[in-house]
Structure 1
Amino acid sequence: MQRAEQLSEEPTTSLAVLASPNRTTKVVLSSFTAALCATFVGYPLDTVKTRLQTYKYPNFWQCITTTYAESGLSAFYRGITASIISGSTARAFTMSLYTSLLPAYASLLGVANERSTVVTFASGMTAGAASTLFTCPFEFTKVASQVEALVYRSRGLPEPKSMGTLRAVKDLLRRGGFMRLYGGYRYHLMRDSLGSAIYFSVYEHAKQTVGSFLPSEDSKPNPLAVATAGGVCGVISWVAVYPIDTMKSHYQRDLYHHSLASSMEFRDTVVERPKFKISLHMYRGLGFSILRTSLNGMVLFSVYEYLMHLGPPAH
């Protein structure tokens, strides 16, 4: 109890302070590097997740072996270029915006503690929503890259020799131009705004709760508390928004499938928006997603907190 009381009286930690330009730069660089590490670690699992969501496999192992048979390990990293550009940059933007919004929302809501649930939830939701304007085209490209071999196969088309991000972009742009890359935006917006709100609020609460039972060095958070909180916030937020992500993946898969249609078929076919419903089907691939997002959160926040506390404090 005494440790918990001390924590509540301490100044806000790295995710809750943005006091100077130097600190802003440190937040951006630290979050970008952390997101880069997390992307490389979790991307193969994300590919499996997307395929399990959009196509029927007897089990996850069949999905893995089928993917590997296409082009070895590289098949699991298709579309990672878009994910690195959008994911790492967006995470740096989101975390920077999140930290700057904390004092603003605390003042607006009349809350003294910037790490309170209502403040972190509102800040996370706003930051997540803002990031979608940049990330949606890259996210759609990533999904298309992950399923393109399956889409070509389902249409009875020969698979092109060169597959990946650039091929997926070309296929999408040929039908609808640049705005086609924003297909499924409403699902993307719902997922990232709600997901980020839960993600950051759970992380702050879990880090403080777990940290109250563990020793820490000066103002540095305990590494175990950070890793635990990163894993927990990823799982809880992902379980909450997974049905929305499934709808997004289904819709974007159908749009990409549609982009390969002939001119006549393109005019006669309408891609229907999936209806929101909670069912076991909407949670297909959740097990892999939990593993991915838990690992992603642990790596992301562990690297981020380490870099933020590396060297002399930024003033």
Structure 2
Amino acid sequence: MSKEEVDQLLWDYRTVFTAGTASLVSTVASFPFDSVKSRLQVKHYPSIWSCAKAVFREEGIQGFFRGVFIPLITISFVRTSSFSIYVNTKESLHNSGRLADKSRIRDVALSGMAGGATSGVIISCGSAPFELVKVQRQLEYLTAVQRGLIGSAGQGGPQATTSSPPSSAAAGAKKGPPAKFQARSGFQAAADIYRHQGGIRGFYIGFPLHLTRDTLGTALYFGSYDSIRSVVNRNVSSNGSLFGVPGPFVSFLSGSTAGILSWLIVYPVDLLKTNVQQRKLSNHPKQLTGYQLFTHLLRARPPADSTKQDTAVRRFLRLYRGLGVSALRSFISHGLTWTIIEALSDRISQRTGKDVMAARG
């Protein structure tokens, strides 16, 4: 291919190239934190560090990357598609004269939110089954322990929370030496869901919560990022730095800030989704909807000998269990994503002579 043909290919598929590459790198870098986050959401550990040590002790280093293969492919595809829908929605709005004034933060924020919400609604329908398989893979060791299929590593390990007590299967399990845990592949996990959870519809366990999280979260994420970059771009120097801060670090902080802000709002929804899915997948004797689990967590009292005072605020904060490691994951994942996207966009702009960022709106 000639240089002109390569340049045209890069320009035509600039979103796929930049977002796809960024997604691959950020998914691998942040996946261990996502695995710890899923555990913290369904089981009580004294701290993030104690949870990480438990994962390493019980499952080894592979426990942090359990189920990474399918997300590596699907998340990259989903994020690339999400960026494409977001960009195309904004272009449609701007071309029709709606929210097209880039000098107004309101227009920038609302157009970004519209693109993000549209992307969230469409993408969630296709991503829900893959995320369910990811959650099952991340929690399969914990689920096997709760079902009595294997013995827990160490008899003094963390106790299950009120949202995830051991299932009736564990109570009736035969006593004897614990079975050795054997991890399954993503395809085996998907086949298990299909067989035992009602066929295709089983892949949509907790889908209303998934849809709510993705629609609201993606809208806030892109709206926040566009607003932050709009303010930043008005103050950057000719070399891309902001008050002496190098351009790549500005990109990283802009992306990570948007990710953390959106995650703070939708995190309780994600926690409820993970718990609803884990209860169903582990055959928990008491199945709850998202709303029922929400009210249960707010009303459940701590043990009588608890050293912590029971307050409404403390019970509400149960909805943010595991937030610390999740915020760290968002900081790394979204910071890397936008740093790589903007770096690759600059390279494409230099090569083709066209402004990728301006074309993105």
Same fold? TM cut 0.5: yes
Deviations 1:169-227 (A, max 9, x none): 23212211122111111111111111111111111111222343332448xx9323211
Partner of 2:352: 313
1:199 is aligned to 221
Partner of 1:92: 80
The amino acid that maps onto 1:188 is H
Question: Unmatched 5+ residue regions in structure 2?
Answer: 1-7, 151-179, 241-245, 299-315, 355-361
Question: Structure 1 segments of 4 or more deviating over 6 A?
Answer: none
How does 1:112-261 map onto structure 2 within 5 Å? 112-113=100-101, 116-158=108-150, 160-175=181-196, 176-217=198-239, 222-258=247-283
1:4-48 superposed Cα distances (whole Å, 9 cap, x missing partner):
xxxxxxxxxxxxxxxx97534111121011001000110000000
TM-score by length of 1: 0.84
The counterpart of 2:319, out of the listed 279, 282, 285, is: 282
**Residue 287 of structure 2 corresponds to which residue in structure 1?**
271
Q: CA deviation at 1:133?
A: 1.5
**1:162 counterpart letter in structure 2:** A
Distance change >3 Å, CA 68–CA 212, structure 1 → 2: same
Q: Does 1:33 align with 2:21?
A: yes
Shift of 1:65: 0.8
d(CA) in 1 for partners of 2:238, 2:39: 42
- Structure 1 unmatched runs, 5+: 1-19, 262-268
Pairs within 5 Å for 1:95-114: 95-107=83-95, 110-113=98-101
The 2-side partners of 1:75 and 1:314 are apart by 46
SS of 1:102 mapped into structure 2: helix
How many residues get paired? 285
Tell me if structure 1 keeps the 8 A contact 2:93–2:100: no
| Percentage identity across paired residues of the two chains | 30
Q: Which moved more, 1:238-247 or 1:51-60?
A: 51-60
CA distance in 1, matches of 2:259, 2:92: 25
Determine the structure 1 residue equivalent to 2:57. Answer: 69
Between 280-289 and 108-117, the greater mean CA deviation after superposition: 108-117
The alignment yields a C-alpha RMSD, in angstroms, of 2.2
Partner SS state of residue 288, structure 2: coil
Specify the code of the residue in structure 2 equivalent to 1:171: D
- Give the TM-score, by structure 2 length: 0.74
